[in-house]
Structure 1
Amino acid sequence: MSEKSKSKSETDSEHDSQLIKIRAHHLCCIQGFQGYGYSPAFVANMRAVISDLEALPSRLLKLVTECDAICISCPSKRECTIQESVLSRRIRQMDLTVLEKLKIEDGTFVKADEAFRLINSKLNNASDIEEVCGTCKWRQKCLWYMQAGR
């Protein structure tokens, strides 16, 4: 049974103990992260999120188009939370593109391992990857982006 089909009371207890909110495009970033980042605090937080997901691959994620568990330590977080900013619109568009390609809605609950399987099966050609990652300043250092000549 998918998380979307579970009743609110059934999912509330799972969310309290396991839920991590993740921007849709961060499913790519997590896989390509090499230790580079906006600041030492950002890098440490990204490593902690990745370690958590590696330790518990069945961890429940809520895929979103807003600041998430990774954005918490980003120096640009304030600008990103201003919905009218150019940065916010660009990053949100990356999330919306990922969600569209995965054929899921903003706010969908999915287990981490299932989310990674889904993104790697649905975003598997150069044009899809360029559409999502084309404006990202980290793409030249991202293992996920560079994999298979992306």
Structure 2
Amino acid sequence: MPEKSICRYETDSKSDSELLRIRAHHLCCIQGFQGYGYSPVFVANMRAVISDLEVFPSRPIKLVTVCDAICVSCPSKMECTVQESVLSQKIRQMDLTVLKILKLDVGTVLNADEAFRLINSKLNKASHVEEVCGTCKWRQKCLWYIQAGKQESEV
């Protein structure tokens, strides 16, 4: 059953008040973010999410393949919420690729610091990085993409 597309910085239930929904591929984006973005509102929100995860590294996150806490301020979010759109399918495929490499299911909940350790230890081949980020318009400005793509050649 596909996930519902909810574009709000929210939790799944009142009992999970600290649970943050994060698209799987955003685990890479968060680490490579330098302040560039689709709009000033997007940049401010991205900084807020990153700051929150830095202050609370053990915050539980739920890995999703739909609009998340970062997407909430993206000017393209309306197109992404249409499940059949080309953009939506392309971005969802990035998420599914990350989950496949990490051997995790959609909806997996884990602490943020654990998620970042996992992505940096498992998504460490240049071919994986290209598969996930190869068509991203931000890859040339993304510190994570630049660094992760070099790891395999240095080994």
TM-score computed with the length of structure 1 as normaliser: 0.89
Q: Shift in Å at residue 49 of structure 1?
A: 0.1
Does the 8 A contact of 2:125 with 2:148 survive in 1? Answer: no
Letter in 2 for 1:15: D
Q: Shift in Å at residue 15 of structure 1?
A: 1.6
How far apart are the structure 2 equivalents of 1:26 and 1:130? 15
Does the 8 A contact of 2:61 with 2:110 survive in 1? Answer: yes
Q: Shift in Å at residue 26 of structure 1?
A: 0.1
How far apart are the structure 2 equivalents of 1:122 and 1:88? 25
Three-state SS of the structure 2 residue aligned to 1:31 is helix
Q: How does 1:9-28 map to 2 (within 5 A)?
A: 15-16=16-17, 18-28=18-28
Identity of aligned residues (%): 77
Letter in 2 for 1:130: E
Q: Shift in Å at residue 32 of structure 1?
A: 0.1
Count of residues paired in the alignment: 139
Structure 1, unmatched stretches of 5+, are 1-11
How far apart are the structure 1 equivalents of 2:95 and 2:15? 24
Q: CA RMSD in A?
A: 1.4
TM-score computed with the length of structure 2 as normaliser: 0.87
Does the 8 A contact of 2:19 with 2:59 survive in 1? Answer: yes
Structure 2, unmatched stretches of 5+, are 1-12, 151-155
User: Which residue does the alignment assign to 1:100?
Assistant: 100
Letter in 1 for 2:16: H
Letter in 2 for 1:87: L
Question: Which ranges of 4 or more aligned residues in structure 1 deviate by more than 4 Å?
Answer: none
Three-state SS of the structure 2 residue aligned to 1:38 is coil
Does the 8 A contact of 2:20 with 2:62 survive in 1? Answer: yes
Q: Shift in Å at residue 148 of structure 1?
A: 5.2
Q: Give the structure with the higher percent helix.
A: 1
Q: Shift in Å at residue 23 of structure 1?
A: 0.1
